[in-house]
Amino acid sequence: MKFIDAHHHTWDLSVFPYSWMDDPHPIGDISALKNNYVIKDLLEDSENLELFKSVHVQCGGGKDSAVEETEWLQSLADKIKIKKKFFTESEVSQIKKWLDEYQQKTIHDWHGKENAYYETSLLDKKTRILSRIEKFTDFHLGLKNIAQSKKLLEILEDLVGEECILFKEKINFKQSGGNGFRTHQDIVSRWDDFASYFMNIFVTVDECTIENGCLEIARGFTKKELITNYDTPIDENLEKEMNFIPCLTSPGDVILFDCFVPHRSKANFSMNQRRNMYLTYNKKSEGDKRMNYYARKEKEMPPDDRRSNDDFKDSPIHMAFYKT
């Protein structure tokens, strides 16, 4: 017999403080409750029952619990996970230092190592600025340790259901004058030639605001399929039917979403840069495909220091997704 549960709670101690769990508690010892209880736990507890629907009731999480907790629940439904202050201030400070060092390089300083891509500034058409770098974990131990940190891999395994391995990595610098990206799914770049499923981790390095072109994610999109042609942004008419939420994150926050979730970002016309690390993983059971991916990427879209001097311009593939 199918049934509807008229009342359930979920809570995640890594997301919110729950003041009602503070000791001493009026009913006595509640230590058994001081563990996360999320949707996965509810499904496991009801696996021998025909649970058809369930009504969620708020659990008093966060300072402005009614709003914050609702947004968190919506993110679960959207297959998007936001972790506030996932990286400490000290960790973020170190990442910023490393990115500052990268930004001191000129186009001639890469020497065929990290893959560096530049773009024409929207604020000064005569100036090219660093747009992003890729394949940096081969040459930077500190950033490699971040990408392979235990706490990142554990949260990935929890979401995906099995161990994951790094597929690709990039740093988007989104400097003042940096362009945006049109709405797209990451699977559009033919990642499925290498594996079937990918999870992205967006690591916030600088404050992300509307003004500096924060990441925007389509809310409520649950399809696990490509909805456009390969190497093509999502059609503007289809884009209008989507409900995008701006991800106004702070340094140290991370956002997790899979390769099918449509997302976009606007250009940065502010005076504040918006740097982030964008780490992508596939299931370990499908193999280590990272070098296969970069072999194809470097052939189709050579880094700027590996092009001829008269070819320092934005790649057509790159520009296809830019949104001014």
Q: What is the pLDDT of residue 312?
A: 47
Kindly give the pairing relationship between strand 128-134 and strand 243-246.
Answer: unpaired
Contact 92, 259 (CB under 8 A): no
Q: What is the pLDDT of residue 321?
A: 61
How far apart, in whole angstroms, are the C-alpha atoms of residue 214 and residue 227? Answer: 23
pLDDT higher than 80, residue 262: yes
Q: List all residues 6 or more positions away from 300 whose beta carbon is below 8 Å from its beta carbon.
A: 317
| Residue 81's pLDDT band (cuts 50, 70, 90) | confident
Q: What is the pLDDT of residue 324?
A: 46
| Residue 15's pLDDT band (cuts 50, 70, 90) | confident
pLDDT tens-digit map of 42-63: 777 877 777 777 787 888 776 5
Region label for 74, one of left (φ > 0), alpha (ψ between -120 and 50) or beta (otherwise)? alpha
| Residue 126's pLDDT band (cuts 50, 70, 90) | very high
Q: What is the pTM of this model?
A: 0.78
Of 230, 247, 122, nearest to 184 (Cα)?
A: 230
Domains delineated in the chain? 2-71 (no CATH), 89-323 (2.60.120.620)
Q: Which has the minimum average pLDDT: 23-32, 130-139, 219-228, 309-318?
A: 309-318
Residues in the chain: 324
| Residue 140's pLDDT band (cuts 50, 70, 90) | very high
Let me know if 265 is exposed, middle or buried by CB neighbors in 10 A (0-12, 13-18, 19+). buried
pLDDT higher than 80, residue 68: no
Let me know if 4 is exposed, middle or buried by CB neighbors in 10 A (0-12, 13-18, 19+). exposed
Q: Which residue has the tokens 């001493």?
A: 24
Contact 227, 183 (CB under 8 A): no
| Residue 223's pLDDT band (cuts 50, 70, 90) | confident
Instruction: Please tell me whether residue 8 adopts helix, strand or coil conformation.
Output: strand
Q: List all residues 6 or more positions away from 248 whose beta carbon is below 8 Å from its beta carbon.
A: 208, 209, 210, 214
pLDDT higher than 60, residue 320: no
Bridge partners for 215 per DSSP: 265
Q: What is the pLDDT of residue 167?
A: 98
The DSSP-derived string for 198-234 is EEEEEEE-S---TTTT-EEEEET----S--S-TT-PP
pLDDT higher than 70, residue 101: yes
How far apart, in whole angstroms, are the C-alpha atoms of residue 133 and residue 117? Answer: 6
Average pLDDT of the chain? 87
Q: What is the pLDDT of residue 26?
A: 80
